[in-house]
Structure 1
Amino acid sequence: MRRKGDLPTKTCAQCGRPFAWRKKWERVWEEVRYCSDRCRAEAKRQRAT
Structure 2
Amino acid sequence: MARTRSKSDLPSKLCPVCQRPFTWRKKWEDCWDEVKYCSERCRRRRNTANSEKHGD
| Bucket of the pairwise TM-score, normalised by the shorter protein | 0.7 to 0.9
Offset of residue 24 of structure 1: 0.3
Q: Which residue of 2 aligns with 1:19?
A: 22
Q: Which residue of 2 aligns with 1:36?
A: 39
Q: Give runs of ≥4 in structure 1 deviating > 4 Å.
A: none
Counterpart AA for 1:36: S
Counterpart AA for 1:11: L
Q: Which residue of 1 aligns with 2:54?
A: none
Counterpart AA for 2:28: W
How many pairs does the alignment contain?
47
Query: In structure 1, what is the Cα distance between the partners aligned to 2:16 and 2:37?
Result: 6
Identity between Structure 1 and Structure 2 (%): 57
Q: Give the TM-score normalised by structure 1.
A: 0.86
Unaligned stretches of 5+ residues in structure 1: none
